[in-house]
Structure 1
Amino acid sequence: MLDSIYIAMTGLHGYEKGLRVISNDTANMNTPGFKRSSLQFSDLFYSSGNTGGQNGQYAGQFGFGLNTLGTVLNFQQGQMQNTGNDLDVAVDGQGLFVLKGEGGSVHYSRDGQFKFNTDGDLVSTTTGERVMGLDATGSLSAISIASLKTSAAKATSTISFSGNLSSTATSQTVGSVTVIDAAGSTHSLSVKLVPVTGNTGSWTVTLQDGTTTVGTGTIGFINGQPDPAHATVSVSYTPGGQAAIPLTLDFSNNVTSFDSGSQSTLAVASQNGVGPGNLTKATFDGTGTLILTYSNGQTAKGSRLALGRFNSPDAVASVGDNEFEVVDGRAWETGAAGNQGFGSVRSGMVEISNVDLSQEFSDLVIMQRGYQASSQVVSTANDMLTELFAMRGK
């Protein structure tokens, strides 16, 4: 009778653990990157008993109850959810983000809620740990924008023109020719074009800064189209207090010279200089590369997110805060999104919990029934003991 109570108690204890696992799963149904667990059960040891038989003895086996082996993490991918935050990222496929704490401890997570701290380091919004990327040698390094918050100015080197330069015009002036120097300052120049006497289709091009001539050159047209050998003019412009800027005036594309009377449509199409810019946006592409956008229209690439992957579920364990730690380092490898079996990165999204409530509720019913049955065995065995003691007292 006492054995029966002990055996039923192992059932109560085991189903209580199962309820605890289900409780933890359901409590984290909205936790980003959370992975559900399931409890493994096994039967306990057995003892042999003897029962009579025709040819001697049968070896009977009597069990001693229920044992719990441990929990198993389910790494099935959860659904992707839009957040509207460009720095939130999710891994579509295999891989976990690599996070490093202040003490140097390395953890892994499917929770991609990130932000840049005041030092410019990319950190986990949940734990504050630094998010690791891969440097040029493939080694782990922190992802930082400390030196990338501004975009330097770029001096103009080419000014392109478009439109028609009337072949019968006596002169043509194109104003508002913008030139940006290395310091990012803007200068407004002009270009004057005068036909070359006695050489049809040839024009003298003069770049002017106010009334000061910066430089001159000659361009030519053949049947109204630019002569490839004479379609550009090279000059050197020296802004006040700045170093000389080599400039190319390009008339080779989208420029014609047909007879349109005294009207010409020649104008500046573009110039390739840019002023300084501030960082306006940071996001990640599908390979996990940091893409930075600046107010001057320029973009730059930063570090690439590092991802970790394990080859055996026995090599990983939960540590809380949506993170996991390495149990067996031999079963782990590090890489980047899109390479060597690692998944791609989705920016502006997070992976939500993979908890399946319908499955959890089904398991909950099973645990409840098992617990009720075990408690009934305890009650029944206790009643039988009570009857036994009552018989002795008679």
Structure 2
Amino acid sequence: MFGSIYIGLSGLNAYSRGLKQVSNNVANLNSQGFKSSTVSFTDLFGARQNGGLSYSAGQGSSGHGVRMGDTVFDMSSGELRQTDRDLDLSIDGSGFLMLMRGGEVAYTRTGSFEVDKDGYIVLSGSDYRLATLDSAGRPVSLSIDQLGTNPPKATTKIVLANNLSADSTVPQLVSNIKVVDLDGGQHVWQAKFERVANSTGQWTATVTDEKGVQVGGSPKTFTIINGRIDPATSVLDFTTSGWTVSFDMAGIGSYAGGNTSTLSAASVDGYAVGTITSLSVNKDGELEIGYSNAQKKQLGAVAVADFRDPQALEQRSGGLFSDSGGAGRQLLASTDPRVGLVKSRTLEASNVDLSREFGDLILIQRGFQASSQIISVTNDMIQQLFGIRGQG
């Protein structure tokens, strides 16, 4: 009869532990990247062997209560919520972001990252550095300190387009051509096109800078035949201070248009020096720096870990996981379908299912009540047994 009390106590203990687990799940309802754990219970059976107890089922075995089952994580993805920070990262898939701190490695499903004083990308509030894959596929942490500026590139080609009026009686201008010199200095040029008097299809092109100084010496001559630029003169080179810029006019047409010019600079290459304006993860899962000169630089693919057995991971504070070596890790790039895509400006919410937790809560409560009732009834029976002595 006393065994019934111990069985009831095992129920109280198991359901108390179950309540703690449900409480932890519910309390982390709004914790980023939190993975809930499943509450389960398992029976205990014991058989007497050589005067002792062995907890194994078999002939002659009897129930010895209940215990809480092993913790099983729910690794399903939580909702991906949009944010306004480029370094808010999450994974649309089953992989984990890899974090490095000296010789220590941790993993997370999502997190807000920032650049620390040394230029490393770290998880906010910690010194865990985000890992990327180098050219050999090895995880490394990198600093952007040496990438603060993007060097300039001098303008070498200007492509002109549209119509150079064949019957215009005034010079035709293309203004506000923004170019960059060899030192990264920015200039605004103007190109002027005039028909050569008393000639057949002969034209001149003159380029001046923002100070009115003529670029490249004397005007350049080109020829128009049947409304098209003669291929032999379709590219005009203007050289100044050892710097040459080619005007490509192959796409220009020359037809009647009066004195209204539609000629324009369709494209101008080159760019000035740039400073960092953004740091994010692009659609290919690569860390990418954006500069003020509209240039971009890829720093490498974010390292994403795929685990053969995610249940072998150990859950830690702050949405982190650690691996003692039993989970079977493989590092892959973001574009690999086995791990999913790293997304910028998103954070993964907790995957706690509140309705399921409340259902488990009711079952745990009823189980606790039933176990306590067993102890109460057993106690009453023992009391009644003790009272037999005084009867008769």
Q: TM-score per shorter chain, which class?
A: 0.7 to 0.9
- Which residue of 354, 360, 364 maps to 2:357? 360
1:331-388 deviation line (CA, Å, top 9, x unaligned): 1111111215121122211110000000001001111111111111111112222222
Cα offset, 1:116, TM superposition: 1.9
Residue of structure 2 in register with 1:230 after alignment: 233
Name the SS for the 2:140 alignment partner.
strand
Match of 2:121 in 1: 122
Distance in 2, Cα, partners of 1:351 & 1:11: 36
Any conservation in 1 of the 2:90–2:346 contact (CA below 8 Å)?
A: yes
Q: Secondary structure at the match of 1:45?
A: strand
| CA apart distance, 1:322 | 0.4
Q: CA RMSD in A?
A: 2.5
| Deviation, structure 1 residue 299 | 2.5
Q: In structure 1, how many angstroms separate the alpha carbons of the residues matched to 2:30 and 2:105?
A: 25
Residue 55 of structure 1: aligned partner: none
TM-score (norm: length of structure 1): 0.87
Instruction: Check whether the contact 1:314–1:328 (CA below 8 A) recurs between aligned residues.
Output: no
CA distance in 2, matches of 1:20, 1:199: 96
Cα distance in 1 for residues equivalent to 2:245 and 2:369: 88
| Separation of aligned partners in 1, 2:142 and 2:62 | 61
Name the residue aligned to 1:201.
201
Conservation of the 8 A alpha-carbon contact between 1:100 and 1:106: yes
Which AA in structure 1 matches 2:115?
Answer: F
Residue among 249, 252, 271 paired with 2:250: 252
- Contact 2:306–2:338 at 8 Å: present in 1 too? no
Aligned partners of 2:326 and 2:135: how far apart in 1?
23
CA apart distance, 1:140? 0.7
Query: In the aligned structure 2, how far is the partner of 1:5 from the partner of 1:154?
Result: 84
Moved over 6 A (4+): none
Q: How does 1:1-394 map to 2 (within 5 A)?
A: 1-47=1-47, 60-101=60-101, 103-168=102-167, 172=171, 174=173, 176-196=176-196, 200-208=200-208, 210-212=212-214, 214-215=216-217, 216-238=219-241, 244-253=242-251, 255-261=252-258, 264-329=261-326, 331-392=328-389
**Partner Cα separation in structure 1 for residue 48 and residue 187 of structure 2:** 100
Letter of the structure 2 residue corresponding to residue 25 of structure 1? N
The 8 Å contact of residues 171 and 194 in structure 1, kept in 2 or not, is answered as yes
Conserved? CA contact 1:156–1:274, under 8 Å: yes
**Letter of the aligned partner of 1:140 in structure 2?**
P
| Secondary structure of 1:389's aligned partner | helix
SS in 2 for 1:29: coil
Q: Which runs of 5+ in 2 are unaligned?
A: 50-58
Q: TM (normalized to structure 2)?
A: 0.88
Bigger shift: residues 7-16 or 384-393: 384-393
Local SS of the residue matching 1:25: helix
Give, in whole Å, the separation in 2 of the partners of 1:281 and 1:274: 18
Residue identity (%): 37
Residue identity opposite 2:147 in structure 1: L
Structure 1 window deviating more from structure 2 (355-364 vs 229-238): it is 229-238
Q: Deviations over 1:153-179 (max 9, x none)?
A: 221111222343333557736455443
Q: Secondary structure at the match of 1:282?
A: strand
Match of 2:53 in 1: none
CA contact (8 A) 1:155 1:184 kept: yes
What is the distance in 2 between the residues matched to 1:337 and 1:267?
42
Question: How many pairs does the alignment contain?
Answer: 378
Shift of 1:295: 2.2
1:77-122 superposed Cα distances (whole Å, 9 cap, x missing partner): 1111112222212211120111112x42111111232222232221
**1:134 Cα deviation after fit:** 1.0
Give me the whole-angstrom Cα distance separating, in 2, the residues matched to 1:169 and 1:302. 52
Q: Distance in 2 between matches of 1:13 and 1:126?
A: 37
Query: Match of 2:332, as an amino acid?
Result: G
Does structure 2 retain, via aligned residues, the 8 Å contact 1:8–1:377?
A: yes
Do the aligned partners of residues 361 and 189 (structure 1) sit closer, same or farther apart at CA in structure 2, a change above 3 Å counting?
closer
